[in-house]
Chains A and B, each alone.
Chain A
Amino acid sequence: MIKILASRTFFKAVLIFNSIIVLAPVLFLINSSLRETNDFARTPMKLARSPYWQNYKDVWAGGNFPIYFKNSLIVTGGSLIVILALGLGAGFVLGRYQFKGHGLILGFVLSGMLVPAKLAIIPLFIQLKWMHLLDSHLGLILVYSSGALPAAIFILSGFFRSLPTDLDNAARVDGASEFQLLMKVLMPLVRPGLAIVAIYSAIPIWNDFFLPLVFLQSPEKKTIMQGLTAFFGEYASQWGIIFAGLTIAALPLVTLYLILSEQFIKGLTAGAVKG
């Protein structure tokens, strides 16, 4: 009994220690973002007694920060629409229909999950240039969609396959078209799958800076994570402003995560965890 209690205390201590390590830099970041730079430089470890909101105003008012933010919303949102719309259709067909070449197509889709986009970056660069999609949000959206679609189709076809076939027959007997069957009957039932796909795709896209780094050049087109690298150089040693910028960039996902942590964890580990 004592031994069990002792081991329970040990594991509790592990988790508390983990919490401290995880939260310390985050709290340091938020605290420092609310302090005037000179004040921070003098005593880096002090608490922000009265929040110095000017840092946030400076970030938002000076430079391209709001534009970067808006661009990230456009690119992430646009990619999500393409991924969900095309993934839903393809997932429906591969999960619900039996036809010649079914296995071949599914195999092809799965092979798309193995290609690391980074290593195909030069041909992609030349190809986008040729298609006049370089330095454009649409080009970036299509590349992101292409990267996320294989996993999206794989996850969604699994959800479609798990639904009873009686649903289709009943709907067809009632005179529903295939399109109505998909949109009215089946789509509401695969909503959890759509949520997983949305999270699985949106987070890496919002967080990515590699593809924008290569594909976007105009300052007014840059995304927030790409913009941060420029921002960090621009405001070198103006710590208060830098910390405020980092906090703003992290805020959307952290807020969503705190509300929907279960779905986030499920979404991001989808594929790695069975069932």
Chain B
Amino acid sequence: MARAGIKREQNKYAALLLTPALAVIIIFTSIPALTTLSYAFFRWKGFQRLGFAGIENFQRLFNDPFKSYFYMALRHNVLVFIAILVIQTSLGILVGYALFKLKRGHRYFRTVVFLPVIFSLVIVAYMWQAMLDPFYGPVNYLLHSIHWDGLAKTWLGSTSTALPTLVFINLWRWVGFPAIIFLAGFNSINTEFIEAARIDGASEGQIFRKILLPLLAPSMTIVTILTFIGAFEWFDLPYVLGGTNGNPAGAIDTLALMFYRLSFGSVDSGANEIGVGSALGVLIFTIVGVGATFGSRYLRSREVEA
């Protein structure tokens, strides 16, 4: 009797406590996400929905004038993903390992390593815009003062350097994140393995390559997947530094920027294309979803058990 009473009260509480949270998620996440899907299959005039369009919006996306923008943006996303994955992961492992090896000053270095992660990308973007300013920026000032004048470029202003510069700024902001994840990965490795190898006469380099690195695979999976998602949804940094068109001359245009332009209209054309925009949104979501799912499945299958 008493048990049944508790059960009934529990059911009442379960409903009472779950409903508000689920309602907020359904109304402000699930419904809009599903609606986006449907928008891609309609014709639009401004924010007004017209008739059913079938796959017309997808076809338009793959024809001019959208096609060339799409492929250029996609190329930038792919390049950024590869560059960030290779450089940021290597540096993350290096810094994470350095923190792992550290005996003293652990707290100071860890705090500094992670510091940029808490900065807003708006602040990061403007801070580096100032750092790289051709006239007032310390970076070019330093290059001039050591007479490497040829290297002092208009970093964000020229089409050849804008994208690599943005990748650098992104690295500055993010390296601390994988570094801390790798540090946690190193810390979770059973020290017995390391001790045993050391007794067997293995060098530090061998221990790192043969024991630590393979056992770091779970952290590597997480970092790779997060990098992939971040690279294909890259928006804030290119938007703040290059505007909706990814200037100079679209050199830092990305899929997410193109999606934003199509959704809300670009600065110069003004008109928006919600149908094509939603089609692009669905495509980005598919790339990210499929890539992340199969990527993590593949990477997990290569992990070794510690």
Chain A residues within 8 Å of B, Cβ to Cβ? 3-4, 7-8, 11-12, 14-15, 18-19, 21-26, 28-29, 32, 40-41, 44-45, 82, 86-87, 89-90, 92-94, 97, 99, 105, 108-109, 112, 114-124, 126-127, 142-143, 145-147, 149-150, 153, 172, 177-179, 203, 206-210, 214, 225, 228-229, 232, 239, 242-243, 246, 249-250, 253-254, 257-258, 261, 264-265, 268-269, 272-275
How far does the alpha carbon of A106 sit from the alpha carbon of B218 in the complex, in Å?
24
User: Does B27 contact A146, Cβ atoms closer than 8 Å?
Assistant: yes
How far does the alpha carbon of A248 sit from the alpha carbon of B263 in the complex, in Å?
32
Which B residues touch A265, using CB under 8 A? 110, 114, 180
How far does the alpha carbon of A87 sit from the alpha carbon of B20 in the complex, in Å?
10
Q: Which residues of B (116-131) have their CB < 8 Å from a CB of A?
A: 116-123, 126-128, 130-131
User: Does A207 contact B22, Cβ atoms closer than 8 Å?
Assistant: no
Q: Given A4, A19, A116, A209, which contacts B120 in the complex, CB threshold below 8 Å? A: A209
For the complex formed, measure the closest distance between the CB of A7 and the CB atoms of chain B, giving whole angstroms.
6
Which B residues touch A121, using CB under 8 A? 32, 260, 263
> In this complex, what residue of A is CB-closest to B284?
A119
User: Does B130 contact A28, Cβ atoms closer than 8 Å?
Assistant: yes
How far does the alpha carbon of A232 sit from the alpha carbon of B24 in the complex, in Å?
35
User: Does A210 contact B236, Cβ atoms closer than 8 Å?
Assistant: yes
For the complex formed, measure the closest distance between the CB of A91 and the CB atoms of chain B, giving whole angstroms.
9
For the complex formed, measure the closest distance between the CB of B172 and the CB atoms of chain A, giving whole angstroms.
7
For the complex formed, measure the closest distance between the CB of B279 and the CB atoms of chain A, giving whole angstroms.
11
B228 in the interface (beta carbon within 8 A): no
> In this complex, what residue of A is CB-closest to B142?
A45
User: Does B120 contact A178, Cβ atoms closer than 8 Å?
Assistant: no
B305 in the interface (beta carbon within 8 A): no
Which B residues touch A243, using CB under 8 A? 130
For the complex formed, measure the closest distance between the CB of A146 and the CB atoms of chain B, giving whole angstroms.
3
User: Does A12 contact B102, Cβ atoms closer than 8 Å?
Assistant: yes
How far does the alpha carbon of A250 sit from the alpha carbon of B233 in the complex, in Å?
24
User: Does A124 contact B28, Cβ atoms closer than 8 Å?
Assistant: yes
| 11 more A-B residue pairs beyond the given contacts A105-B18, A178-B10, A273-B184, with a C-beta to C-beta distance below 8 A | A29-B127, A86-B24, A90-B22, A112-B29, A146-B28, A206-B120, A246-B126, A250-B123, A254-B118, A268-B118, A272-B181
Which A residues touch B260, using CB under 8 A? 121
> In this complex, what residue of A is CB-closest to B177?
A269
User: Does B98 contact A112, Cβ atoms closer than 8 Å?
Assistant: no
B158 in the interface (beta carbon within 8 A): no
Which of B16, B18, B288, B289 lies at the interface centre, i.e. has the most chain A CB atoms within 10 A of its CB? Answer: B18
User: Does B120 contact A89, Cβ atoms closer than 8 Å?
Assistant: no
